[in-house]
Amino acid sequence: MASDTERRNLPPLELHVPEPKFRPGDDADFSDIAIPTVGETRRPDIADDHRDMPDLSYGLVRVLDDDGKAAGPWDPKLDPETLRKMLRAMALTRAYDGRMFRAQRQGKTSFYMKCTGEEAVAVAATFALDRDDMTFPSYRQQGILIARDWSLVDMMNQVYSNKKDRLMGRQLPIMYSTKQGGFFSISGNLATQFPQAVGWAMASAAKGDTRIAATWTGEGSSAEGDFHSACIFASVYRAPVIMNVVNNQWAISSFSGFAGGDETTFAARAVGYGLAGLRVDGNDALAVYAATQWAAERARTNNGPTLIEHFTYRAEGHSTSDDPEQYRSANEAADWPLGDPIARLKKHLISIGEWDEERHAAMDEEVATQVKTAQKQAEKNGILGHGLHQPLETMFEQVFEEMPWHLKEQMQDMLDENDAANGVCKTR
């Protein structure tokens, strides 16, 4: 045991507080990011032991090179028609985002979140999953629904909280939910979907089903306790689940270092939990597809779960309530070294002679018209800016199979008070 004299000779303890490399006014420089060449990251067999693949948590799965050519062991060799469908779904997602963002600025809804630059993370992954696999998204995976050809009008009804909103105005705009679409309810409480997805996957296995689960969260949310609990259960019970961490560099105004990104990769958490781990170029649609396909096959054949880190960048603000100019360099998005997922897939299709600039321009015009038409139809059902569209009693309904007596009393008290406030006289 050290004496008081010896302690006085020790330097004072210091607390490390992570700092982003660039602040507003700085020029962003990403030259220190190690980007392996296409083909450098090996592709193991789906049945390989997770102990034999820790290197994959530190590499970067890539398929598309700088010239738009697909190469390497991860190339899924998709047919041109599938590639065009994937490209269109990403373009439609971006067009949908743009119009809903403007709708918020026009006062038609209270809130919106775009996924600009991250479209491949949701869309390409969805193309690699089966239609009846269950997805547990975070709030930047609207591309899942769009890739599954879900109704844009239905999605907009939820954003507007109007009379056709399937959630009856109870959820924050953009927190979609549809059982038929295999899209679990989004929660504003971050990372809750991870243990929910693992639990669903465990139930699927317990029932002898063949469906798997996939879930997404941001790198900032991976610091939540729910994330770590989910990893424990997934590892111990080898749940058939794919756990996606979307490392877009920023969690609202906090950079990834506060979640541990300065010390190691997010995929490396798989090593400590006994999970298969992959680190993927999240702006390479073919790499995202290939990694998800590999993980899905691994889960479906009872070889265990996979943790995938999608290395990408949030090109715009966290939400309509955020101003990224207050905390990050102005040129970060433009200088992100892995480019734009739509532009990269477009370049690939052109390079193989299956696309051209004229068809791409026509597609952009087509999806813009599709979104505009859907918006007009949805707005006929009302917009949030015009006030309440659901009967008051709906806030008490669809919670219990049979409403308890005390909630019935509370509902009636509310209705009576509302009638009195509006001058409605009732005789008894």
- DSSP states along 225-237: HHHHHHHHHHHHH
How many Å apart are CA 88 and CA 84, to the nearest integer? 6
Whether 363 is in a domain gets the answer yes
- Is residue 32, in this structure, part of any structural domain at all? no
- How many degrees, rounded to 5, is the angle at CA 279 between CA 43 and CA 194? 115
256 and 110 assigned to the same domain: yes
Residue 11 within any structural domain of the chain: no
pTM of the shown model: 0.94
Same domain, 271 and 363: yes
For the chain, how many structural domains are there in total? 2
Whether residue 152 is contained in a domain is answered as yes
| pLDDT score at 226 | 97
Q: How many CB atoms lie within 10 A of CB 118?
A: 27
427 domain-assigned: no
Query: What local confidence, expressed as pLDDT, does residue 428 receive?
Result: 47
Whether residues 336 and 217 fall in one domain: yes
CATH number of the domain within which 130 lies: 3.40.50.970
**357 in the same domain as 297:** yes
The DSSP code for 217 is E
396 lies in the same domain as 370:
no
Per the domain annotation, does 27 fall within a domain? no
**Claim to verify: residue 378 and residue 404 sit in the same structural domain:** no
Whether residue 397 sits in one domain with residue 374: no
pLDDT of residue 323: 93
| Burial of 395 (C-beta count, 10 Å sphere; 0-12/13-18/19+) | middle
pLDDT tens for the chain, residues 1 to 428:
666 666 778 888 999 999 999 999 999 999 999 999 999 999 999 999 999 999 999 999 999 999 999 999 999 999 999 999 999 999 999 999 999 999 999 999 999 999 999 999 999 999 999 999 999 999 999 999 999 999 999 999 999 999 999 999 989 999 999 999 999 999 888 899 999 999 999 999 999 999 999 999 999 999 999 999 999 999 999 999 999 999 999 998 899 999 999 999 999 999 999 999 999 999 999 999 999 999 999 999 999 999 999 999 999 999 999 999 999 999 999 999 999 999 999 999 999 999 999 999 999 999 999 999 999 999 999 999 898 888 888 889 888 999 999 999 999 999 999 989 888 766 54
144 and 193 both lie in a single domain:
yes
> Does 417 share its domain with 366?
no
Residue 132 and residue 255 in one domain: yes
Residues of the chain by 3-state class (helix, strand, coil), percent to 5: 45, 10, 50
Same domain, 304 and 402: no
Residue 274 resides in a domain: yes
Residue 121: inside a domain, yes or no? Answer: yes
Same domain, 314 and 399: no
Q: Which domain holds residue 119?
A: 50-319+330-386
